[in-house]
Chains A and B, each alone.
Chain A
Amino acid sequence: MSVRRPATLTTLLTSCCLAVPGPAAPAEGGLVQRGKDLYGQYCVACHGANGSGVAQTRPKRIGGGPLRLQAQQEGVAPPLRGVGALAADFYLTTGYMPLQHVGLQPRRSRVLLTSGQIRALVAYVASLGKGPPIPKPHPERGSLAEGMRAFTDHCAGCHQVVAEGGYVTGAVPPPLEDATPTQIAEAVRIGPYVMPSFSVRAISDRELDSIIRYVQYAKHPDDRGGWAIGHVGPVPEGLVAWLIGMAVLIAVCVVIGERLKHEG
């Protein structure tokens, strides 16, 4: 059974020393080379040469203040051998990577790379070792009912039952309204940051299709009751009860209770 993450520091350091440059795939030589150049620009400071990962920051005596930040951005990051096109595509198309600051939770942000650059980087990372390809989910083949049940079982605890995002101690599972079906499939298989990962054994491709179909539905769910106010329940409901309901009624009381003009 595959071990998902580096077990000890020693293993990491050892693998660094034994790093062998990955061979460029001959058919896409140009794309992979371009990807390697981009990798050198954006990724090598944390992920190390040839995706070998960096186990610990080299202690550099460069004083305090703003220079310390520079040292931190040359940070600790996992190796990318064998993560495949799947992981690279996910982290780059969402803007999770490049990460501003080691230790931050990667979040969806403005993607600074063009799609051509992303394709090149993905090709390069995929060439670093055999890994899963970019998935091709088919949500239309999934079942909405199965998706709701599976999402509630596996995902709602962190992402909230209609994918409005939530909180877990130490991280903020994001809302999924901007997630594409491919990205959802990728995230489920990777388990980014502190999210659990679910292999095909845990969630089959068919169940994943259903989950993705449900997430797509959850972006525009049945709101026959009116203005949905965020789909998160009593907190916005209470705000409406006070800021609309009570505000209007107190105003009505003020109008009705206007004191009569009197004599004396």
Chain B
Amino acid sequence: MRARAKDVALSALLLVVGRRKRPRLRRGEHERIVPEQPPDAGGELLAIALLAASALCAIAFVAFYALDRLPNQTQLLGGALGLCFCFLAAALIVTAKRIVVSEQIEHEYPLEEHPHEQETVVQIVEESGDRLTRRRLFKLALFGAGGALGVALLTPAASLGPILDVDPFYGTPWRRGRRLVDGTGKPYRAADVEEGTFYTAFPEGADREELGASVVLVRLAEDELTLPPALARYPAEGIVAYSKICTHAGCAISLYRTPLFAPTEPGPALVCPCHYSTFNVADGGSVEFGPAGRKLPMLPLAIDGRGHLRAAGNFDEPVGPSWWGVRNRSAKP
């Protein structure tokens, strides 16, 4: 047993401090391919030290992983693994620069082209087709079949979605008489909608994630409104509702700019945080600034007997970003 331990200790010691003599050229062998270069003991030790450091970091990583509830665990894990790789990188670079033989070799670039083989290939192809009498027809048939097969194989891709029916783009979940509710489902009462505040409303019972669902509610003083005749009946007591989805690129319009003191501050507007399209709330949603090419769709409102806000119809325009047919017709239920 003791002899065994002594052997192990001796081997370990030899491993660390022992160095091999450089082998001389063996008799009867070819000339060297890889040139000879003197050794670099310092470089070797440096590389070995770096490798040892790398190994330690790897062990640290495993240790950090195993320990539960370590604070900053992500930082410790990343630091350990990252440093492990960095030490390994350093070791390899030292190896490259100081340990392996540094040599420059020359080589010829490959031939630009192989005219003889090119000709042979062409000849093979041409001679193979010699037997054909109806060359053009055959080629047509071949490509025709291939093309048709390609189209056939691509056809099931159409099941990925409706392609031809663009009706859904015009639809919204709003109907005449549908109540406006907040995020928790509570209906909005007109009296609760105050000036200077903005509210988000949805159609009662509808999927809130549909683009056509969310609207922004704001109340303006009646004499602030400058609506065109077509939209004059849309507000209810000065409360106006606009689609919350920007007509530029579909982000939710969650900024309401409303001046505390109008004479020295910018006027009321709904602004989109993505590209800052700015919509005037008093004139039906026209674009004041920004890249939106279309005004903000407006929802007509009515107040029912209990004072709750209800839609009086659908938006005046389709909601969301524009497409080819967006101005073809108004939004439909």
Contacts and interface: CB of A to CB of B under 8 A. Distances in A.
Interface of A: 1, 3-9, 55-56, 75-78, 102-103, 153, 156-158, 166-171, 190-199, 201-202, 224-226, 252, 255-256, 258, 260, 262
Report which residue of B89, B102, B273 has the largest number of chain A beta carbons within 10 angstroms of its beta carbon.
Answer: B273
Contacts of B17: none
B323 interface: no
Given A3-B221, A196-B258, A252-B89, 7 more contacts: A157-B255, A158-B273, A194-B260, A197-B197, A197-B258, A256-B93, A260-B104
Contacts of A158: 254-255, 273
A194 B104 contact: no
A157 B256 CA distance: 9
B197 A199 contact: yes
Contacts of B271: 168-169
B75 A191 contact: no
Contact of B102 (A193, A255, A260): A260
Contact of B259 (A5, A258, A262): A5
Q: How many B residues touch the partner, as a band?
A: 35 or more
Complex A-B, nearest 6 residue pairs according to Cβ-Cβ distance, in ascending order:
A157-B254, A170-B266, A78-B261, A157-B255, A194-B257, A169-B278
B210 interface: no
Interface in B56-91: 72, 74-75, 78, 89
Contact of A171 (B183, B199, B254, B266): B266
A194 B266 contact: yes
Contact of B196 (A169, A170, A196): A196
B314 to A, nearest CB: 25
A194 B102 contact: no
Contacts of A6: 261-262
B263 A169 contact: no
Interface string B163-199: 0000000000000000000010000000110111111
Contacts of B269: 169
Contacts of B259: 5, 193-194
A169 B289 contact: yes
B196 A1 contact: no
B290 interface: yes
Contact of A157 (B199, B260, B273, B289): B273
Contacts of B74: 224-226
Contacts of B252: 157
Nearest to A104: B264
Contacts of A4: 194-196, 260
Nearest to B218: A196
A76 B263 contact: yes
Nearest to A159: B255
B265 A193 contact: yes
B73 to A, nearest CB: 8
A191 B254 contact: no
B243 to A, nearest CB: 15
A55 B256 contact: no
A190 B258 CA distance: 12
A3 B258 contact: no
A78 to B, nearest CB: 4
25 contacts: A1-B194, A5-B195, A9-B263, A77-B261, A78-B260, A157-B252, A158-B255, A166-B273, A169-B257, A169-B271, A169-B276, A170-B257, A191-B196, A193-B260, A195-B258, A195-B260, A197-B258, A197-B260, A198-B197, A199-B194, A202-B199, A226-B78, A255-B93, A256-B96, A258-B97
A251 to B, nearest CB: 12
B258 A103 contact: no
B52 to A, nearest CB: 21
B89 A190 contact: no
A163 to B, nearest CB: 14
A196 B198 contact: yes
Contact of B263 (A55, A167, A224, A225): A55
B296 to A, nearest CB: 14
Given A169-B266, A260-B104, A262-B104, A196 B261 contact: no
